[in-house]
A and B are shown apart, each in its own frame.
Chain A
Amino acid sequence: MFFRLVYESFRRQKRRKALAGVAITLGVAVATAMIAVATDVGDKISRELRSYGANLVVTPQEDTLDLQIDGVDLKPPSDGAYLNEADLPKIRGTFWHHNIVGFAPMLPVKVSANGQSLTLLGTYFSKKLTFGKEEFVTGVRITHPWWKVQGAWPDDESQDVLLGESLAAKLALKPGDEIQIGSRPHRVSGILSTGGPEENEVVAPLGLAQQILGKPGTVRRLYVSALTKPEDALARRDPKTMNAELFDRWYCSPYVESIAYQLQEAIPNSHAEQIRQVAQNEGTVLARIKGLMLLLTLAALLASALAVSAAMATAIFERRGEVGLMKALGGGNASIAALFFVEAMLLALIGGLVGFAGGAVLARQIGRSIFAAQITIDPVLLPVILALAVIVTFAGSALAIRRAVKFDPVYALRGEG
């Protein structure tokens, strides 16, 4: 009899059930989408923050002091130590290699070009490298996304060069022209705009810079762009003072400090350091955006809970006549309440399932259109969302059910109140 009542209630009151069901579905969909976006937004924004460029720099351990003023290097060219280019692919073998978005080596060389004394900067543009069996591409196009080229990027194996914007204007050269560097002509494949000191330099493939310097396989500096976890108390501790267990935890967290430590391990005779301007601010910006999304999600959850409650209360309030009839026929308060609760639970489960699917689609759409990347939804979220939907629906129904059950059947049946 109980189940027949529930069944008939759903069969005969399609409009009312649909209204309450739609409210629950919408509420759950928004809650799911917001939770999915909020849990994933940190990861996505952290990737966007990589557009600020490298957050780690690797230098030779025995390097002499830099004599750099406003990007112009005043150091004699023979000075200083070098890193070994052959060691670079080993970065792919470090513990956090998945978090390393890219790296770019730099080798500045003093040259004379078209009769002027200039700096030529050797680097990777988008160089294909292999580590073990794995092939990957890296270079300034990944680590320095604000570098813009008018014309074409040179091939990493070629002898072509890029000219900084101010330098090109001074020499009156444009893409496709030739420039005399040392004793040999090189084709200018493009004009580079960076907003930095590179605008007065020649930028060339690393191989060309090594050839001019006469030191094959050398690199001056290495810029590494890595996804990191915001710094906390553990991150700032000196690894030498940690015990084994703590050290493991530190080593296996993607802090900028532990990634620097692992880079030093991977590249012999090197010193890795965080670029504080980029690395330190990343944490605060990320924390603000994540906090904002978390609070928004809370607000969204609250709003959808209230909306679902209001819809449920309305749905039950409309059925006072039915309650009066059941009571007049001898139905107990408990069994009537149970009937409503079972109905509410069915609605919550159905609405919850549909809403979860809808929310997943919504989150995917948001991820695709804003970040051009998937937002993944943890299946663990489904039972949590369903439980939340049932709880909210129950809470919204409880008061209305109590009032409906307490109401005098005579008044209810007469249609008053």
Chain B
Amino acid sequence: MSAVATRRANGQHTSMFLRMLMRAAILRRGRAASALLAMVVAAAAATAMLNLYVDVQAKLRKEFRNYGANVVVVGKDGAALPQAALSTVDAALGGRGLAVPFAYVVARTSDGQSVVVSGTDFGQVRKLDSWWSVTGWPQASRDALVGKRAAAVVNPQAKPFDLSFQGRTLHLNPAGTLSTGAAEDSRIYISLQDFENWTGVQPSTVEIAASGSPDEVNAVISRLTEALPQAEVRPVRQIMEGEARVLGKTRATLLASASLIILTAALCVLSTLMGWVLDRRRDFAIMKALGASERLISSFFAAEAGALGVIGAVVGFVIGVAVAAWIGRVNFHAPVVPRFNVLPWIVAGSVAVALISAVLPMSLLRRVQPAVILRGE
């Protein structure tokens, strides 16, 4: 019999507890809504910041790959690379990067001037060296891309011209002019197939843009060194160090801003919720006067704060993901992928802040006699 009584008492207890929670939320809609709003704003800000912080690195790395190759493979002492070098490099990259072969010879023009001619894969170069300013890319066989300074020497009138290498002559049509401000300006680029048919020389250099973090790039370098013992594999320090530096500073700035924003949002939640709980000291006093235990009252307020924290966190997470996606679209022209693994952290953080802001005023109120509060003093 006593078991039934206990169960009934517990049952009623639970339903009364839930009813109090529900009524408190419904009767004081305005206050509950403003507390919830603060919670949602804080959770949304935290979600957006965490999502961005994780994703911005990848987004910026992609931008930095526009600087071109970060790894170079060259044959030792200027020797040609083995036939299968390019496929070896592609295999080592595993699809996460771009590899472009270059072959070089010094040829002579019809009036005896020396000029460097390079054979390459134009489709790949276009992707790797996006800064090349080109008036027209070669399409057909025997089309040439002529460097700006080479053009002034080789074919000032942009007419077809002849080049000779070891007695063999090649007739070329200039398809466009290339301008980079560096050594490329003095060279003539033709397709690798034309180049090999003409000179029989194999590529001596492969320029590689390996994507990923410094660790991943270093892994690619060590894989390549192992796979190509007859070649020299070296990182382009200029590109890798510049990237690391700028990325590091940007991330630090982002982290500082993110922690500032999250901190403010959390403190505002704290102040709003504390106001809310203090505002309800009359409820607190009535409950106490009616004989509720301190533990019951504490757990009531804690449950309320917890519910607020969870709801605020989930709504805020959705909004935060949307904000991060919007920032990604506007700034990087690629959406920021939502990271659901930050959700538990957001929920935990929100509930923690909510609990702190409920418990702090509780300890203040506990010392006060219910009669004093009910008299309105």
Contacts and interface: CB of A to CB of B under 8 A. Distances in A.
Contacts of B272: 310-311, 314
B265 A276 contact: no
13 contacts: A67-B186, A74-B114, A195-B234, A277-B181, A277-B182, A285-B66, A291-B331, A292-B52, A292-B254, A292-B331, A310-B34, A314-B34, A370-B249
B253 A370 contact: yes
B327 interface: yes
Given A311-B271, A317-B279, 20 more contacts: A19-B271, A22-B267, A26-B268, A37-B256, A44-B249, A52-B67, A52-B242, A65-B115, A67-B116, A68-B116, A68-B186, A193-B237, A195-B237, A195-B240, A273-B181, A276-B179, A277-B181, A285-B246, A300-B45, A307-B265
Contacts, number: 232
A26 B237 CA distance: 43
A415 B56 CA distance: 51
A45 B254 CA distance: 13
Give the secondary structure class of A's interface. helix
Contacts of B64: 281, 285
A280 B327 contact: no
A295 B45 CA distance: 13
A111 B136 CA distance: 41
Given A65-B153, A303-B45, A307-B38, A315 B275 contact: yes
A41 interface: yes
B332 A288 contact: yes
Given A195-B236, A289-B60, A146 B242 contact: yes
A70 B268 CA distance: 60
Interface stretch (A27-35, A94-102, A180-188, A329-337): A27-35
Interface in B29-65: 30-31, 34-35, 37-38, 41-42, 44-45, 48, 52, 56, 59-60, 63-64
Contacts of A69: 78, 104, 106, 116
Nearest to B327: A295
Contacts of A22: 267, 271
A87 B116 CA distance: 31
A310 B270 CA distance: 11
A145 B239 CA distance: 11
Interface magnitude class on chain B: 35 or more
A74 B45 CA distance: 59
A190 B327 CA distance: 48
Contact of B264 (A44, A52, A277, A304): A304
B264 A195 contact: no
The 6 closest A-B pairs by CB, nearest first: A195-B237, A307-B268, A52-B242, A66-B186, A280-B131, A291-B331
A139 B240 CA distance: 21
B250 A146 contact: no
Contact of A57 (B116, B182, B235): B182
A279 interface: yes
A29 B276 CA distance: 25
Contacts of B332: 288
B253 A37 contact: yes
A415 B282 contact: yes
A410 interface: no
Contact of B68 (A34, A277, A288, A403): A277
A328 interface: no
A292 B327 contact: yes
A276 B238 contact: no
A362 B253 CA distance: 12
Given A27-B264, A48-B246, A67-B114, A53 B30 contact: no
A274 interface: yes
A96 B218 CA distance: 39
Give the secondary structure class of B's interface. helix
Contact of B275 (A19, A288, A300): A19
Given A69-B116, A370-B249, A276 B34 contact: no
B99 interface: no
Contacts of A288: 59-60, 63, 331-332
A365 B322 CA distance: 31
A49 B242 contact: yes
Interface in A45-82: 45, 48-49, 51-53, 56-57, 63, 65-70, 72, 74
Contact of B41 (A41, A274, A307, A366): A307
B294 interface: no
A66 B114 CA distance: 9
B274 interface: yes
A307 B271 CA distance: 10
B264 A303 contact: yes
A415 B83 CA distance: 89
A301 B370 CA distance: 42
Contact of A317 (B30, B42, B78, B180): B30
Q: Which of A63, A195, A277, A288 has the most CB of B within 10 A?
A: A277
B253 A41 contact: yes
Interface in A278-302: 278-281, 284-285, 288-289, 291-293, 295-296, 299-300
B279 to A, nearest CB: 6
B204 interface: yes
A53 to B, nearest CB: 6
Given A195-B237, A310-B37, A292 B256 contact: no
Interface in A80-97: none
A313 B34 contact: yes
A121 to B, nearest CB: 15
Contacts of A222: none
A45 B268 contact: no
Contacts of A314: 31, 34, 271-272, 275-276
Contacts of B106: 67, 69, 74
Contacts of B254: 292, 296
Nearest to B45: A303
Interface in B254-305: 254, 256-258, 260-261, 264-265, 267-268, 271-272, 274-276, 279, 282
B327 A299 contact: yes
Contact of B257 (A66, A195, A300, A318): A300
Contacts of B249: 44-45, 48, 370-371
Contact of B181 (A19, A51, A279, A284): A279
A276 B180 contact: yes
B140 interface: no
Contact of A299 (B48, B205, B250): B48
B376 interface: yes
